[in-house]
Amino acid sequence: MIAIDRKLSSLREAVAKLEPLLSPCRLCPRHCGAKRDKGEQGVCELDDKLKVFCCNLHFGEEPPLSGTGLNENQKAKGSGTVFFSGCNLRCVFCQNFAFSHNGNGKYMTQEELSEEMLKLQERGAKNINFVTPTPQIVPALKALLLAYEKGLRLPLLYNCGGYEDLEVLKALEGVVDIYLPDAKYQDAELAKKYSSAADYPEKNILALQEMWRQIKNFEYDEEGYMTRGMIVRHLVLPNALGNSLAVMDKIKEVFSDEKGKVPFGLSLMCQYFPTFKAKDYPELKERLTFEEYLKTLEKLDEMDFELEFVQQHDDCAEDF
Ligand code: SF4
């Protein structure tokens, strides 16, 4: 159970700190300065209105977030997911391009979004999962505040691309209970080529440091669902093994203790499939091979994360 008085006061402080950053916009590291309150759209293709693709129970996150808690025998309860439209990254292989890049979604009032969150709680969700919230963080937090005032008591999961502004993250202290950021690149050339964000490697590591500074440890409820924690996700791309190994090496260099232990979780994903603009890049046209994924798993074997999650590759008959 979250401490509601503390949560409400952290949320009010966060809104007060973040609202001035909305227009001209400095909510993500691009600092593109769009006058969003005047209807201008930034690189993320969003003005200041709340736009959401859908709100639903989602069962595909890591087990302690949406699946079975830490008990494989219990029925999955789901994560209360809010898929926000738009994104501050421009990934050419985006698997959510329909709403992250092509503008699908509907405008909602903060009141309407708060009601959707309460419905997710009624349906049994274990958390409220904000997917790609960064560009819309101001109206999203206002809606969340309304929902908590009306009885929401679920932890907030911040599920983002990992290209985050430090000032924004600092304002989220006490608001976010679980961070689920990507660590996409440590190769600046690839970050520029595929996501139009050459500074992703340095911004990402700074963001992970700030997130872990806030979270510090893991907590679970009586069913084994995470109520506090941090899991970093890395999607292994085809023909980019060096980047994946560099991401893992960098995390180890920055975060491991004297025994080599990294205090948060890592989720190593092989679900890449060519979609959106990937057809324009010959090296992205194929799925990831099992051999490529295996190399990253061997690297993971040498490391020691607090939690580790891997996926079943289609070309592998056996469970890992
Ligand atoms: S969130 Fe969007 S509008 Fe704001 S700085 Fe980033 S890309 Fe620009």
**What is the Å distance from ligand 1's center to 189 Cα?**
21
Please indicate, yes or no, if residue 190 is contained in any of the structural domains: yes
From 19, 21, 27, 36, give the residue whose CB has the most ligand 1 atoms within 8 Å, as the site to mutate.
Answer: 27
Task: Give me ligand 1 centre to Cα 82, in Å.
Answer: 19
Q: Please give the number of the atom of ligand 1 that sits closest to the Cα of 43.
A: 7
Structural contact between residues 25 and 33, judged by C-beta atoms closer than 8 angstroms:
yes
Q: Is residue 221 part of a domain?
A: yes
pLDDT at 215: 98
Residue nearest to atom 3 of ligand 1 (CA): 42
State in Å: Cα 288 to ligand 1 middle. Answer: 31
Domain that holds residue 190: 4-310
Distance between CA 81 and CA 56 in Å, rounded?
Answer: 5
How many domains, the chain?
A: 1
Concatenated DSSP letters of the chain: ---HHHHHHHHHHHHHHHGGGTTTT-SSTT-----GGGT---TTS--SS-EEEEEEEE--S-HHHHSBTB-TTSPP--EEEEEES--S---TT-TTHHHHTS--SEE--HHHHHHHHHHHHHTT-SSEEEES-GGGHHHHHHHHHHHHHTT--PPEEEEE-S---HHHHHHTTTT-SEEEEB---S-HHHHHHHHS-TTHHHHHHHHHHHHHHHH-S-EE-TTS-EEEEEEEEEEPPTT-HHHHHHHHHHHHHHH--TTSEEEEEEEEE------TTGGGSGGGSSPPPHHHHHHHHHHHHHSEEEEEEE---TT--S--
Q: Give the count of beta carbons closer than 10 Å to the beta carbon of residue 293.
A: 25
Q: Which of 22, 31, 36, 43 to mutate to test the pocket of ligand 1 (most atoms within 8 A of CB)?
A: 43
Whose C-alpha lies nearest to ligand 1, atom 6? Answer: 28
Q: Which atom of ligand 1 is nearest to the CA of 34?
A: 3
Q: Which of 112, 320, 65, 94 is nearest to 196 (CA)?
A: 94
CATH of the domain at 100: 3.20.20.70
Asked if residue 319 is part of any domain, the answer here is no
Q: What are the pocket residues of ligand 1 if the criterion is a CB atom closer than 6 Å to any ligand atom?
A: 25-28, 30-32, 34, 42-44, 88, 135
pLDDT tens digits along 136-164: 999 999 999 999 999 999 999 999 999 99
- Closest of 302, 300, 288, 297 to residue 318, by C-alpha: 297
Q: How many CB atoms lie within 10 A of CB 189?
A: 10
Query: pTM for this one?
Result: 0.96
Task: Let me know if residue 17 belongs to a domain.
Answer: yes
Residue 315 included in any domain: no
Q: Which residues of the chain have pLDDT under 70?
A: 1, 69-71, 315-320
Determine the distance separating the centroid of ligand 1 and the alpha carbon of 209, expressed in angstroms. 22
Residue pair 205/190 in contact (Cβ under 8 Å)? The answer is no
Please give the distance, rounded to the nearest whole angstrom, from the Cα atom of residue 76 to the centre of ligand 1: 36
Ligand 1 midpoint to CA 100 (Å): 13
Query: Does residue 318 belong to any structural domain of this protein?
Result: no
Calculate the dihedral angle through the C-alpha atoms of 256, 266, 100, 285, rounding to the nearest 10 degrees: 110
Residue 317 lies in a domain: no
- Compute the distance from residue 196 Cα to the ligand 1 centre, in Å: 13
Torsion angle (degrees, nearest 10) of CA 198, 161, 143, 125: 180
